[in-house]
Amino acid sequence: MQLRNLLVAFDGSEASDRALAFAEELAGQYDARMLIVTVLQPFVGPAGELAAAPQTPTKEEREQAEQELDRRVKALRVRGRLVEVQVEVGVPARTLLELADRLHVSAIVAGRSGKGAIARFVLGSVTTSLLHKSTKPIIVVP
């Protein structure tokens, strides 16, 4: 497999931090570019509550997501990695898959989510959806 462009799904969780670290190693080995993507969900309202109708993320939520990405990307760029970031609004798995197809990425890197002992056996819903629907290779980082 030739890796030229990696799409890294990033939501700020520990699992996505591990996925980002793994993607950096892989990018270094293959001299690949990384596109780190955060998807803000339109059906999540204040305090993380599910909203009955789509809610456009606020300017503050978008800025917070961008700042979170910028903090991580600065260190990657200092180490010489080719990195781009993108904040999207939509259903996470669907948005990531559409981006991967449109941008012709080589693979999608995502973290496994969950907490506690059962987390070893359960994948997060976004990662599960990516595995079932992607036409691109998916690299799941534990």
Q: How much is the pLDDT for 95?
A: 94
Torsion, CA 24, CA 27, CA 31, CA 32, rounded to 10 = -120
Neighbours of 102 (CB within 10 A): 8
Q: How much is the pLDDT for 66?
A: 87
Q: How much is the pLDDT for 56?
A: 76
Q: Spell out, as residue ranges, where the chain has pLDDT lower than 50.
A: 114-122
| Structural domain of 92 | 5-141
Q: How much is the pLDDT for 52?
A: 54
Q: What is the domain-level CATH number for residue 95?
A: 3.40.50.620
Q: How much is the pLDDT for 116?
A: 36
- pLDDT tens digits along 83-105: 999 999 888 899 999 999 999 99
Closest CA to 136 of 92, 104, 95, 91: 104
Q: How much is the pLDDT for 60?
A: 85
Total number of domains in the chain = 1
Helical H segments across 1-142, by residue range: 14-30, 59-78, 92-102, 125-133
